[in-house]
Chains A and B, each alone.
Chain A
Amino acid sequence: MWEYAPAPESRDIANLKPNYRMFSDGQFVEGTGEPLKTVNPATEEVLAEVSTASTADVDKAVKAARRAYDRVWSKMPGTERAKYIYRIARLIQERSRELAVLESLDNGKPIKESRDVDVPTAAAHFFYHAGWADKLSYAGYGPDPRPLGVAGQVIPWNFPLLMAAWKIAPALACGNTVVLKPAETTPLTALVLAEIIQQADLPPGVVNIIPGAGDVGASLVEHPDVNKVAFTGSTDVGKIIQRELAGTRKKLTLELGGKAANVVFDDAPLDQAVEGIVNGIFFNQGHVCCAGSRLLVQESVADELLEKLRVRVSTLRVGDPLDKNTDVGAINSREQLTKIQELVESGEGEGASRWTSSCPLPDKGFFFAPTVFSNVSQAMRIAREEIFGPVLSVLTFRTPDEAVAKANNTPYGLSAGVWTEKGSRILWMAQRMRAGVVWSNTFNRFDPTAPFGGYQESGFGREGGRTGLEAYLDV
């Protein structure tokens, strides 16, 4: 047997500090909320103490953003705004290794993903939107589309830096100022992004980053001087925000949960479909709102595909997120691990057949071995509820119509995948599946030029592409 020797990335590269402070009005300041401790989910050790915002701090940050909006940012020509945004993009690239290691420490995702996906895609979002800043008149929203004002943004823990980039880049390009709250369990890379923003010499108050738990997010979205709310996270919280904002003039975009169907037809390129299924559900430990968590496979190839899938999943290396050869890292928190375990138990209880990779798991930290449920029916919880973990539910279908019916039989509608070598069938399926993103013969591919967003309980509004600008313009 050929065992790969450990190939860990050095954690010193992360420049981890014992204390992190919030970023408000161009300065790092001590928040007056209860400080939080952020934990490395792979070892359960405390990484750093982070000061959080109180209601008064939220108010200060929003006021700073308002001042920056009125006095500087909304009046600045797009060509000038672009220079700042390009600078942020380049600085992210310069500090990419530091950001990648820090992201893996704080979030638990494997270094190969933070290094090859999260950080480069975050830089790409800034580059892409910097290009729009002086071309908004050509975006299709009238001759001189205006910004909205102050954007209050709340982001999740699954892609801490990348989600910050998705939110901040278009807001700045369109001339808005920002108050952003990173997730409670993963505030660190957003605060390094704040350093980068300071390094890029952005005018004070244009971007403010205020860590904290849900209550900080609530006071941010409720703040009367916020003009635009953008939220990525759970459907439950999304509903609360929508209720809260009803009747106000605040513009809202929500990017919520999903239970995506990955549909494999019998004429699919099977080996690559297996790759796509693996990438669809085990990428980022399945902590992906658009994860392909329901595999719908045509009955005539189900056995062959499942056999290949199990062989492939057995090769996934679960363990130290900083090891360059790790494929699946740590579950972000004990709370999330408990939720995954609970749903997996329900799957067994409801009669689905469980298969779990026999890969070794580390002794400490929050880990869950890649798991595939077959013989799943639509009635089971594991087919309906978002697990947000490395757990795949396999269902079968007989005809294209049945595939569409099953794929759409969910209150969500964020993403979907189609695997077939028949081009006409891809188009036929894409027209019928209620999902904001449909991937064909691939899965979980992200690009700043492509709009991303959902249907129904997966939210509304788009991020990325020309379409994504609409969320930050007064149109």
Chain B
Amino acid sequence: MAAPTTLPSALADAVRDESSLRRFLHGLPGVDQVGVEQRAAGLGTRSIKKASKLWAIDTAISMVDLTTLEGADTPGKVRTLAAKARRPDPERPDAPRVAAVCVYPDMVKTAADELKGTGVNVASVATAFPSGRSTMDIKLADTKFAVEQGAAEVDMVIDRGAFLSGRYGLVFDEIVRVKEACGDAHLKVILETGELVTYDNVRRASWLALLAGGDFIKTSTGKVSPAATLPVTHVMLQAVRDWHTLTGERRGVKPAGGIRTTKDAIKYLVAVHEVAGAEWLNNHLFRFGASTLLNDLLMQRRTQTDGHYSGPDYVTVD
């Protein structure tokens, strides 16, 4: 296996070779489906009002990775998205900026030119997104190209086929190599939980990605249904929390796909707050991968600041 990043001694043994890795991942406590879904539903009933709601909306806006990942993407589309990212609500300049704009590698340069000096990062998907079905060389080249074009963050996909057939070493090596290829760029590792199906798999894949050096673990590509769900995000938040307990180091979580409303976003923030902890409530450690969410957040933000609802015609559609 490839050389991992430096790990504390408690975990160094886990990545010594493929069989150690398998033993470690299979030795993780199981996840009870009924229990985790009950807990997620229970936390979903938290009632967030007034100042705490406005704070949540602003925080959520600052955590959005504004995304366009379509075959039909053009430089024009990416430019308008970048404009939206710089100033989400033109009539309310105090509305925070989003965290990043997320595009395909060939659109990175366009986005980077538009966002230079704004504090909004450019994130690029890579490694034969969304299926991940290609050779290691191509995946590495894809990654390097994205970084060269100006991506500060790379969202890679894991090889789900390898994971599901138990070839954990292969998945591990890919992450380590892609992380090397990223250089200074932050690496988000997409687990595509909709294809891993069980919560046990989600937990194992989360730990695998953390051990291999992923800065973030991310639920989905958005191309597979189901995409992000609350219970899956709970399992991943628990993993980064446990990682912190063991190593003292904080890694991030990014649910992506299917989060469209402010109400949903707040449920995720409550989960971040109460499962991982208050320290995770910032865009260095939590992101939303979303496209339509931002406008709902902006509408709800106006409701909070203006005291009444406006409507979808008062936010910009880009």
Min Cβ gap A132→B in Å is: 27
Is residue B72 within 8 Å, beta carbon to beta carbon, of the partner chain? Answer: no
Min Cβ gap B18→A in Å is: 23
Q: Which residue of A271, A276, A442 is within 8 Å of B29 (Cβ)? A: A271
Q: Is the CB of B53 within 8 A of A5?
A: yes
How many Å lie between the Cα of A112 and that of B32 in the bound state? Answer: 23
Q: Is the CB of B36 within 8 A of A272?
A: yes
- Give residues 233-285 of A contacting B (CB, 8 Å): 267-272, 275-276
- Give residues 87-126 of A contacting B (CB, 8 Å): 112, 116
- With A2-B52, A275-B35, A442-B34 already in contact, the answer to whether A269 and B47 are too (CB < 8 A) is no
Residues of chain A with a CB closer than 8 A to B38's CB? 275, 442
B interface size (C-beta, 8 A): 28
Residues of chain A with a CB closer than 8 A to B32's CB? 269, 272, 421, 441
Q: Which residue of A2, A4, A324, A442 is within 8 Å of B35 (Cβ)? A: A442
How many Å lie between the Cα of A2 and that of B278 in the bound state? Answer: 7
Q: Is the CB of B273 within 8 A of A2?
A: yes
Is residue B238 within 8 Å, beta carbon to beta carbon, of the partner chain? Answer: yes
Closest B residue to A269 using CB positions: B32
Give the interface centre of A6, A267, A272, A275 by most chain B CB atoms within 10 Å: A272
A interface size (C-beta, 8 A): 24
- Give residues 290-309 of A contacting B (CB, 8 Å): 307
Interface of A is mostly: loop
Residues of chain B with a CB closer than 8 A to A270's CB? 29
Is residue A7 within 8 Å, beta carbon to beta carbon, of the partner chain? Answer: yes
Is residue B45 within 8 Å, beta carbon to beta carbon, of the partner chain? Answer: yes
- With A2-B56, A315-B274, A325-B46 already in contact, the answer to whether A271 and B51 are too (CB < 8 A) is no
Is residue A363 within 8 Å, beta carbon to beta carbon, of the partner chain? Answer: no
Q: Is the CB of A2 within 8 A of B55?
A: yes
Residues of chain B with a CB closer than 8 A to A12's CB? none
Min Cβ gap A274→B in Å is: 9
- Give residues 59-101 of B contacting A (CB, 8 Å): 59
Is residue B48 within 8 Å, beta carbon to beta carbon, of the partner chain? Answer: yes
Q: Which residue of B47, B274, B281 is within 8 Å of A7 (Cβ)? A: B47
Residues of chain A with a CB closer than 8 A to B55's CB? 2
Q: Is the CB of A5 within 8 A of B281?
A: no
Is residue B311 within 8 Å, beta carbon to beta carbon, of the partner chain? Answer: no
Q: Which residue of A5, A116, A268, A315 is within 8 Å of B51 (Cβ)? A: A5
Q: Which residue of B35, B47, B53, B278 is within 8 Å of A272 (Cβ)? A: B35
Closest A residue to B239 using CB positions: A271
Min Cβ gap A319→B in Å is: 14
Give the interface centre of A3, A112, A271, A272 by most chain B CB atoms within 10 Å: A271
Closest B residue to A270 using CB positions: B29
How many Å lie between the Cα of A270 and that of B50 in the bound state? Answer: 36
- Give residues 19-50 of B contacting A (CB, 8 Å): 29-32, 34-36, 38-39, 45-50
How many Å lie between the Cα of A268 and that of B46 in the bound state? Answer: 28
Is residue A1 within 8 Å, beta carbon to beta carbon, of the partner chain? Answer: yes
How many Å lie between the Cα of A324 and that of B46 in the bound state? Answer: 7
Q: Which residue of B29, B52, B245 is within 8 Å of A268 (Cβ)? A: B29
- With A2-B52, A2-B55, A275-B38 already in contact, the answer to whether A325 and B31 are too (CB < 8 A) is no
Min Cβ gap B239→A in Å is: 10
Min Cβ gap A418→B in Å is: 12
Q: Which residue of A7, A421, A442 is within 8 Å of B49 (Cβ)? A: A7
How many Å lie between the Cα of A270 and that of B200 in the bound state? Answer: 12
Min Cβ gap A329→B in Å is: 15
How many Å lie between the Cα of A7 and that of B49 in the bound state? Answer: 7
How many Å lie between the Cα of A421 and that of B198 in the bound state? Answer: 14
Contact with B along A1-45 (1 / 0, CB 8 A): 111111100000000000000000000000000000000000000
Q: Is the CB of B273 within 8 A of A441?
A: no
Residues of chain B with a CB closer than 8 A to A7's CB? 47-49
- With A7-B48, A7-B49, A324-B47 already in contact, the answer to whether A271 and B281 are too (CB < 8 A) is no
How many Å lie between the Cα of A1 and that of B282 in the bound state? Answer: 11
Q: Is the CB of B30 within 8 A of A421?
A: yes
Residues of chain B with a CB closer than 8 A to A5's CB? 48-53
Contact with A along B213-255 (1 / 0, CB 8 A): 0000000000000000000000000100000010000000000
Q: Is the CB of A271 within 8 A of B49?
A: no
Closest B residue to A272 using CB positions: B35
Q: Is the CB of A272 within 8 A of B31?
A: yes
- With A272-B39, A276-B35, A442-B34 already in contact, the answer to whether A3 and B52 are too (CB < 8 A) is yes
Q: Which 5 A-B pairs have the closest CB atoms?
A: A272-B35, A7-B47, A272-B32, A324-B47, A269-B32
With A2-B269, A272-B34, A324-B45 known, 6 other A-B pairs at CB within 8 A are A2-B52, A4-B49, A268-B29, A269-B31, A324-B47, A441-B32
Q: Give A contacts to B, CB under 8 Å.
A: 1-7, 112, 116, 267-272, 275-276, 307, 315, 324-325, 421, 441-442
Question: Can you name 13 A-B pairs with beta carbons within 8 Å?
Answer: A2-B55, A2-B59, A2-B273, A4-B47, A5-B51, A7-B49, A116-B45, A269-B29, A269-B30, A269-B35, A271-B35, A275-B35, A324-B45
